[in-house]
Structure 1
Amino acid sequence: MDGQRGYDDSDSDTDEDEDGWIPPCVESVRNYWNNFTGAWLRAYADNPISEHIQRSVTQFIYGPLKDELKMPKRKRARRYANRNNLYHFARQLWKVDWFEYSSPGTRVLDWALTLAIVYSSARIGEYIESLARRGSGRGLRYKDIVVIVFLNEDDRPELAMQLTKDAKNMTNNPHRRPQHAFAEGRYARPLYQNPLLPYLAIFLSRQHRAFQIHWEEDLLDAPVFLNQSTKGAKRVENADTFGSRHRECGIRAGFPVPPTIHDWRAEGLFLTDKHYSPDARMGQAGQDDRETFHTNYQPRNASVDGQATLLGDERRDVGNDAFRELTLPRNPNLWHSLPAAKQYEIENRQD
């Protein structure tokens, strides 16, 4: 028992920054314990951790450990990563970044994964191996993707892709796994916003409204997002390594505290709730409980233009959107945010 409790003590000492140690939320520590017991069960199915020990350690987390480490009951304030934040990430990654990845394909993989997460308001574990599923090898497979070429509203060929998420709590109900469609877009937009490339469109026959691209049989179970830390082995990417690269890119892009995957998810679900029905929002989020959104994702600023409503003016969103964006401060003048050429210029100035 002491060994298990020692695990929780050591695991809690992970949230440290330059200003000193910050205690994690008690629910975060409890989640780490749940992740550990789940991974243990997958690795040692014949020798699981007893329910008595699991309950005892959980009580220890909520009791003595919480008091000793002065862990807060609530998580940090929710932040919202919007399309302006996405632009800063894209500009850093594709235009001014000085960082060299060990594999050139890592930059492409990370952006493909980022757009999939942002556009589908996803949890990180719905496309790659999460911490809660460590060692499971679960993640997006080619069989979970359908790519079509169709004729859009302007009778022009357009690529579209549908992904099927490996959603939370749906392991035993695969028929309920959420699906999300992305398309090139009817109107011209910056290339970084396009989750698809415009290849194959010229091959579309004008006699067909849509044409499905079929994957080879031996590719169906292959991971789409391969781990970038292993050479040769075709293992699925995991949340640890992608999360680290995502955070480091955010720091280089000028965010002192970069957006997390859930910050992108929060903004996406807020906008979905604003423009679609509650049922559509729940489908997008992969949730069964209507209150989950209001408890965990609803901004304290309800984005209501009370001034315009009272005065009878046209209601505006831009002000509330700006305040939501301020939940993720950015300083583009930090040294590590400057392009490599600018750093070189400053380093070699005569003054």
Structure 2
Amino acid sequence: MPQKISLEAFFKRASYNVAIEKKKDVVNGKQKNYKRALELWDQYEKLNPGANPNNIETSKDYVMSIALGIEGGYSNEKPGLWTVVQYYKDFTAGWRRARMEEEQESEETNEEGEKKELVKVISLNVTLSTSNFIKYELYNILELPFRKRLRRYGSQIHFFHLGTQWWKNDWFVLLKPRRRVEIWALIMACVFSTSRIGEFVESTCRLGSGRGLRFQEIIFAVFRNKCGNIEFAVQLRRDAKCMTFTPDKRPEHALHEGVETRPLFCNPMLVIVAMCMARNAFRDYKSIDEVLALEPPQDEQMIQLHWNPNVRDLPFFEGSDGKMETASAFGRYL
């Protein structure tokens, strides 16, 4: 048991160990949405003097007006249910942020010289009641479509066409030739697993966080398959949603070369090995010949290749600036 220290020493140690985290700024897109939502409320308040967002009936009438004012898309004049929900979320979040940024004044003087209390935060009961009103009542009253766009799934033929276009028919010269290999490696990692793009690179929902796949979260191995042939394989750990505080439970997926005959661009290990060699990622092997010559002993199923300590904390999918690749940049390349 650690020795007890004085109260002064306790907080002195705390001051040495403190790590001040910079408050993340709201992304530009969100700021525009918040501003638009507050402007809509201001206009509604002009049409309905004395409107109070903390009044349930007023709040319901407001979202009804919003739903009727939104112009629908996809050949349907009515807005989608989740569009209306998002409008209300932007309003409540924008309202809370705007009020918290104001000075800590709880009152203001109106033209008559009376004191009027500012509505700092919209009541949780009001937001919950209004959200339920949108989802269960307004949804039926206005017959809002639950979904407009048909969900599309990639198929094997789509993947073959993409690979052929990327490696054979695309004559665009990238600024850095390695980018073509890295982008295809990211595509392969998602195709051969159930991962989302934002679980291997920095998601648009995690801007500035630097979260994504790093070398230390990958296990690289050489094993002998069921046919007796030597194969490369990796195990990738996904930075899945809602698992920030349970990293030990994050899903893992294995990628390997496979025994079927198929085009080279369908081999996920080809580009991964190339990336590892280009970045001198292996601790004990410096050339591709050394890696290709590896064979697990007959009495062992596989052997693991350990990472160079210099790359363990680095992003596996690295952006042009040397930081974690972002989903936005990946989308622009596609």
- Is the pair's TM-score, using the shorter chain for normalization, greater than 0.5? yes
Which one has more relative contact order, counting CA pairs under 8 Å at least 6 apart?
A: 1
How far did residue 59 of structure 1 move? 5.5
- The structure with the larger Rg is 2
SS for the counterpart of 1:218 is coil
Give the direction of change, closer, same or farther, for the CA distance of 1:126–1:28 in structure 2 (3 Å limit): farther
What is aligned with 1:216?
Answer: 308
- Aligned residue for 1:132, secondary structure, equals helix
- Is 1:202 equivalent to 2:297 in the alignment? no
Partner of 1:244: 332
How far apart are the structure 1 equivalents of 2:183 and 2:39?
A: 33
Between the aligned partners of 1:20 and 1:79, the Cα distance in structure 2 is 18
Whether 2:174 is the aligned partner of 1:174: answer no
Deviation at 1:206, TM superposition (A): 3.8
The AA in structure 1 aligned to 2:323 is R
Residue 155 of structure 1, aligned match among 228, 231, 244? 228
Which amino acid is 1:170 matched to? Answer: M
Closer, same or farther: CA 163–22 of 1 in aligned 2, 3 Å: farther
Q: Secondary structure of the residue that 2:304 maps to in structure 1? A: strand
**Distance 1:196-1:2 versus aligned 2 partners, 3 A rule:** closer
For residues 179 and 92 of structure 2, the distance between their equivalents in structure 1, rounded to whole angstroms, comes to: 31
For the 8 Å contact 1:145–1:164, the answer to whether it is kept is yes
Matching residue of 2:16: none
- Determine the structure 1 residue equivalent to 2:200: 127
Check conservation: 1:5, 1:57, Cα contact below 8 A. Answer: no
Measured at CA, do residues 226 and 34 of structure 1 come closer, stay the same or move farther in structure 2, by a change above 3 Å? farther
CA deviation digits over 1:51-83, x for unaligned, max 9?
759x869969959xx9xxx98532511111111
Whole-Å Cα distance in 2 between the matches of residues 142 and 169 of structure 1?
22
> Over residues 26-52 of structure 1, what are the superposed CA-to-partner deviations in whole Å (9 max), with x where a residue is unaligned?
5368679989999xxxxxxx97x9675
CA contact (8 A) 1:165 1:179 kept: yes
Q: Which runs of 5+ in 1 are unaligned?
A: 11-15, 39-45, 247-351
Please, which of 156, 160, 177 is the counterpart of residue 87 of structure 1?
Answer: 160
Match of 1:143 among 216, 237, 242: 216
How far did residue 168 of structure 1 move? 0.9
CA distance in 2 between counterparts of 1:85 and 1:75 reads 23
- CA deviation profile, 1:297-338 (whole Å, cap 9, x unmatched): xxxxxxxxxxxxxxxxxxxxxxxxxxxxxxxxxxxxxxxxxx
Structure 1 residue 90: deviation in Å?
Answer: 0.6
Mapped contact 1:26–1:72 kept (Cα < 8 A): yes
> Which of 179, 191, 199 matches 2:264?
191
In structure 2, relative to structure 1, the CA distance for the partners of 1:217 and 1:32 (3 Å cut) is: farther
How far apart, CA to CA, are the structure 1 residues paired with 2:296 and 2:196? 37
**C-alpha spacing 1:150/1:74, structure 2 compared with 1 (3 Å):** same
Give the secondary structure class of the aligned counterpart of 1:192. Answer: helix
> Residues 201 and 324 of structure 2 are in contact (CA less than 8 Å); yes or no, is this contact kept in structure 1?
yes
Aligned counterparts of 1:23 and 1:108: Cα–Cα separation in 2: 44
Question: Normalized against structure 1, the TM-score is what?
Answer: 0.53
Q: Which residue of 2 aligns with 1:225?
A: 317
Change (3 A) 1:224 1:153: same
Q: How much has 1:219 moved relative to structure 2?
A: 1.4
Question: Structure 2-normalised TM-score?
Answer: 0.56
What SS does the aligned partner of 2:212 have? Answer: coil
Aligned pairs for 1:18-29 (under 5 A) are 25-27=80-82
Between Structure 1 and Structure 2, how many residues are aligned? 230
In structure 2, relative to structure 1, the CA distance for the partners of 1:185 and 1:244 (3 Å cut) is: same
Identity level (%): 36
Q: Structure 2 vs 1, CA of residues 155 and 2 (structure 1 numbering), >3 Å: closer, same or farther? A: closer
- CA distance in structure 1 between the aligned counterparts of 2:216 and 2:91, rounded to whole angstroms: 29
Describe how 1:55-134 pairs up with structure 2 within 5 A: 72-134=145-207
Letter in 2 for 1:219: V
Contact 2:92/2:122 (CA < 8 Å) preserved in 1? Answer: no
Quick one: distance in 2 between partners of 1:218 and 1:30?
Answer: 47
Deviations 1:2-43 (A, max 9, x none): 982516999xxxxx99x99999855368679989999xxxxx
Match of 2:34 in 1: 4
Q: CA deviation at 1:217?
A: 2.2
